[in-house]
Amino acid sequence: MNLRAYGRFFVVIGQFLPLIVAYLRDRRRFLLFGGSRQVTGAMRRERARTLLDTLLTLGPTFIKLGQILSTRPDVLPPEYVAEFSKLQDEVPPADWSEAEPVIEDELGAPEDAFDSFDTDAISGASLGQVYRAELDGEDVAVKVRRPGIEELVEADLKVIKWSLPVIIRFIGEARSFSLETLADEFDTTIHQEINYAREARMLDEIKGNFEADPTIRIPSVVESHSTPRVLTMEYVGGTKITAIDELDAMGIDRTGLAERLERIYLQMIIQDGVFHADPHPGNLSVKPDGTLVFYDFGMSGRVEGYVQDKIVEFYIGIANQDIDAILDALVEMGTLSPEADRETMGNVMELAIQDVRGEEVDQYRIQEVVGQVEDTIYEFPLRLPANLALVLRVATVVEGVCVTLDPNFDFISVATDYLVEEGYREEGIKQFLESRGEEVQDLAQAAVRTPPKLERTLDSLNQGNLSVHADLDDTDGLFESLANRLIFGALLTAGVISTAMLYSFATTGATVVAAAFSVGVALFLIRSFRSGRSGTRATPEFTRQGLSQQRPTEAEGTGGIEAMADTSEESEPVGAPTGDPEGEIETD
């Protein structure tokens, strides 16, 4: 294992070397010397495309890593998130001769375990591939773990952990923390995804939550033919959810379908606490009667009760357009730093709400907010706890699917109606009134306590006994920088005067030494004025859907914001359900 990991390490470094050199040149234009260089939005987009190709070349583990990174704008700039959001499991299936031993080890010979077995895979993905078979007269889909994937994943995980110290040198402290957390999260996630026993449990649990809803179809697991390496499920066909022409031909109400899809995911996240986390179009299809079919539960997650409550508060804040409530919910979920510039983030939220509601957004207003964000947000980046990263992915991808079904779809309006119908919004208003009542009580008590304290303070002032203590928090090192400049300035002045005097009254050697000293001090003084952050600078996104059509044209050299790629235009994975009524099953 270690030998394979060492070999993979050099392969990975070789693939990443051009990007590493590019990032080094951002800091020093000529690697060992020279100033930093400006990184434009166009340069970041080109690098993101290059990195995407690198991940595809490195294979299954790194494809999965890219998919996870596409949910983490707290780790990567939006240009990279946009490119990685296009990643799907477009991996050709392994040869049957390699996959057959996996089935034999788990279930016995395929011809004995099934009535019939089609050895041509109907879908191939990074971690597994799907075959169609027949069992007890029923069509089934058999998902088989890719041969040798366990060893490759373990080797690549070691490489990723070895590479972290190098990568961290190119990013800020806050993003270093996010990246280290992401590495641990990825380790856990990929081990969960290659364990088909877990996928079967999650599938059964989510299926049970919608058992009474005839408009939703989730394939049943055939437990007798399922193991941690092989998952056999009921075969359910359908028309891909973004096949608009086919849906229209079937007479499907696309607006109603989009609303139903959003409500299903709101129920999963807010009420059930367990959800299907990979809702891209390849994993969703529609039956002729309008029934929604869900595939591939390898990527699924859970939401704790506390986080569910905060998500509800977040949506209620959006419904009420209460910016303070939105920011409070983000802080309490751990998504936004408590020290963030609330005015700037409030402006961002206002634009995001306008965008999602489909309202016209003033171009000058966008430019103004973009400038504010670029000046402040890097210091207070968004942080996504692991359980919220999947929730974010679900929200943005579902929004993209809904907008594809109905370009005028109002995501917020549907969420608001859902909260009202389920009683969440009324409960939120009740809690708001209760908290306001507590504030009134506190204010009344303070009104009684304040006059005596004020009188004592005024007496102390009158007697000359009042003293004020102030602690200045110099987190940016401003005072230290000013002190250094004063010292360098004084030394430079002394050096120049000494050089002049020695030039007039002393030897040439002493004069040269004094002059060299003065030049050195001058260089340090100049450097103190030029020092600042360099390298690749991340800028945040406003929304993942729609703002890209409304933002102003980015000028080269400004490092402006690149909005998220439209998820409805993602390239489809091999074996995704098509317009054929039979459909196909998308793998994990």
Scan for tokens 């109603």, then name that residue: 256
Which residue in the list 278, 328, 566, 588 is annotated as catalytic? 278
Residues 6+ apart with CB under 8 A from 359: none
- Exposed, middle or buried: residue 326 (CB in 10 Å: 0-12, 13-18, 19+)? buried
Handedness of CA 274, 139, 261, 65 (dihedral sign): positive
Q: Are 296 and 586 in contact (CB under 8 A)?
A: yes
278 is catalytic: yes
DSSP code for 225? G
Compute CA 258 distance to the chain's CA centroid, rounded to the nearest angstrom: 23
Long-range contacts of 347-351 (CB under 8 A, 24+ apart): 347/372, 348/373, 348/540, 348/542, 349/323, 350/323, 351/542, 351/547
What Cα–Cα distance (Å) separates residue 97 from each residue in 101, 127, 143, 206?
A: 7, 17, 16, 34
- Count of positions (residues) in the chain: 588
**How far is Cα 283 from Cα 155, in angstroms, rounded to an integer?**
29
Q: What is the dihedral of CA 268, 269, 274, 277, to 10 degrees?
A: 90
Q: From the CB of residue 413, how many other CB atoms can be counted at a distance below 10 Å?
A: 14
**How far is Cα 406 from Cα 399, in angstroms, rounded to an integer?**
10
Handedness of CA 254, 259, 260, 262 (dihedral sign): positive
Structure tokens at 507: 């030897």
Task: Determine how β-strand 116-117 pairs with β-strand 128-135.
Answer: antiparallel
Reference 359, options 568, 548, 546, 563; nearest CA is 546
Q: What angle do CA 92, 95, 101 make, to 5 degrees?
A: 130
Q: Which residues are catalytic?
A: 278
